[in-house]
Amino acid sequence: MRNIGEFIWPVRVYYEDTDSGGVVYYANYLRFMERARTEWLRAMGFGQHALARGEGVIFAVRRAELDYRAPARFDDLLQVSVRTLRCGGASIDLSQSVVRDGEEGVLCSGRIRIACLDVHSFRPRAIPERLAEDIRKQISITKEHR
């Protein structure tokens, strides 16, 4: 069962995502999580291209810690979640997990910190206020439903 305030993005495992044994190559979980974060932002109305052009900001992974528990395989349908843990002035801490569609067990989980950067200088910059407000609302909703 998924938590309130958690964004879910479906990902199909393609042949190119696997090693010679048909198991998802470990680094590809980072790609799956990246796609989910991109779609999480888009679902809130903040496309990354628009943020770069309009607000002058981009996001970059500052820290990633993953725990691999069980393998995903070729042609699996996965559900990749994004849950906000903290929204600071220039960074966001997220919890992400990958599960096989229709199953309970987590295949891979991660804690990711993304930094908001100036599109030109790549220096830390404050998260645009509208986005920060929306993220903080998600955190409040998640805490209320625990």
Looking at residue 25, the DSSP 8-state letter turns out to be: P
Give the mean model confidence (pLDDT) for residues 92-96. Answer: 97
Q: Above 60 in pLDDT, residue 2?
A: no
Residues 6 or more apart from 99 whose CB is under 8 A from it? 78, 79, 81, 105, 106, 107
Which one is catalytic: 17, 19, 67, 76?
Answer: 19
Percent of the chain with pLDDT over 90: 89
Active site residue 19: yes
CATH second-level architecture of 7-144? Answer: Roll (3.10)
Looking at residue 68, the DSSP 8-state letter turns out to be: E
Q: For the chain, which residues make up each domain, given as ranges? A: 7-144
Q: What is the pLDDT of residue 5?
A: 73
For 7-59, the pLDDT digits (tens) are: 999 999 999 999 999 999 999 999 999 999 999 999 999 999 999 999 999 99
Amino acid at 15: Y
Q: What is the pLDDT of residue 140?
A: 76
